[in-house]
Amino acid sequence: MKLVMKHLFGPVNSRRLGISLGIDLVPFKTCSLNCVYCECGRTSRLTASPAEFAPTDEVIAELRMYLASQPRLDAITFSGSGEPTLHSGIGRIIDVIKDEFPGYRVVVLTNGTLLWREAVRRSLLRADVIIPSLDALGEEAFKKISRPAPGITPRRLLDGLVRLRGEFAGRILLEIFIVPGVNDSEEELSRLAEACGRIRPDRIQINSLDRPGSEKWVRPASAEELARARSFFSGFGVDIIGKPGPRAATGAARPGGGLDEAVRATLERRPSTVEDLCRALGASPGKIEKTLAGLASRGLITTSELSRGTFYAIKKEGPKRGGA
């Protein structure tokens, strides 16, 4: 019988995390930031107020159903198309995974804006890896890149990250997204480096635009610009996040069933090239291209050109995969 999942997606072969099952806890583009580089597009619901956006029991039931067969996974990742820490039940969901399926590594991708709240930090303490982002600390740069919900400030964001480090026993991989001309000045990078001394992340990941962002004026940082940014963090372990590597099969069943559903679920959350989809879903280029042609014939996808090739995305006004 085909499993119909509303809140799980993938597994995808992540360039950072290996074979990763995704959990999407909030409606599309519900976020506390409206970042100019976001691959999911502009935020449609800007909020810093946690709520039970998806029924917690429903998410747990899907997880139990999918994980009962003990699929081969490197990570179970809270990510998707919005800010996962906005979901008030995330801590309970993490507890279920760690109590009932302790062999799986739990990863949380977050913009870090709610970590100043003690309850949010406490809800994440049983995760294995937290990957927060910190792109700017100057008010002007922060507002230009992040366009935050009311009440979110660089100082509050930094305070939450510092407090998290003092309470969290797992790994913190801090992501810094370089937007050329905005947060790559000597002043801004020096502020970020000083903040890293307080946060003490296990590693720093420097990233830049690799897929179409929400604003057309954002451009990818060059190799030279990324290397210069890296030089400010010489006292830390630093990775420059590059383009995806060769394709590899995931070896795990897909929660939604077939390849068509898996491609749609992936494109709803991030624009992707044929190469990206091959690597993420472990399918051949021929099968991916056939699936994309079918979606295009039904008017479900759009295309855009970037230096890395043709990117496909689900039309925002078109039919969406059920649930989050």
Query: Does 144 map to a domain?
Result: yes
- Is residue 242 very low, low, confident or very high in pLDDT (cuts 50, 70, 90)? low
Q: Give me the pLDDT at residue 257, please.
A: 56
Query: Does 301 map to a domain?
Result: no
Q: Domain containing 234: what range?
A: 8-256
- pLDDT, tens digit, for every residue of 43-66? 999 999 999 999 999 999 999 999
pLDDT surpassing 50 at residue 226:
yes
Query: Does 151 map to a domain?
Result: yes
Query: Does 196 map to a domain?
Result: yes
Query: Does 270 map to a domain?
Result: no
Query: Does 189 map to a domain?
Result: yes
Angle at 127 between CA 254 and CA 105, to 5 degrees: 45
Query: Does 276 map to a domain?
Result: no
**Residues belonging to the chain:** 324
Distance CA 73, CA 186 (A): 41
Q: Averaged over 238-243, what is the pLDDT?
A: 79
Look at the chain and report how many structural domains it folds into.
1
pLDDT surpassing 70 at residue 317:
no
Which residues are CB-neighbours of 257 under 8 A, at least 6 positions away? 2, 3, 4
If 0-12 CB within 10 Å is exposed, 13-18 middle and 19+ buried, where does residue 81 land?
buried
Q: Give me the pLDDT at residue 287, please.
A: 82
Q: Give me the pLDDT at residue 214, please.
A: 83
Query: Which bin fits 274, alpha (ψ -120 to 50), beta or left (φ > 0)?
Result: alpha
Percent of the chain exceeding pLDDT 70 equals 91
pLDDT surpassing 60 at residue 1:
no
If 0-12 CB within 10 Å is exposed, 13-18 middle and 19+ buried, where does residue 70 land?
exposed
Q: Averaged over 94-118, what is the pLDDT?
A: 97
Among 92, 61, 66, 71, which Cα is nearest to 18's? 71
Query: Does 132 map to a domain?
Result: yes
User: CA of 53: how far to CAs of 26, 46, 176, 277, in Å?
Assistant: 5, 14, 28, 28
pLDDT surpassing 70 at residue 82:
yes
The CATH number given to whatever domain includes residue 20 is 3.20.20.70
Q: Considering the chain, what is the average pLDDT of its residues? A: 88
- Is residue 322 very low, low, confident or very high in pLDDT (cuts 50, 70, 90)? very low
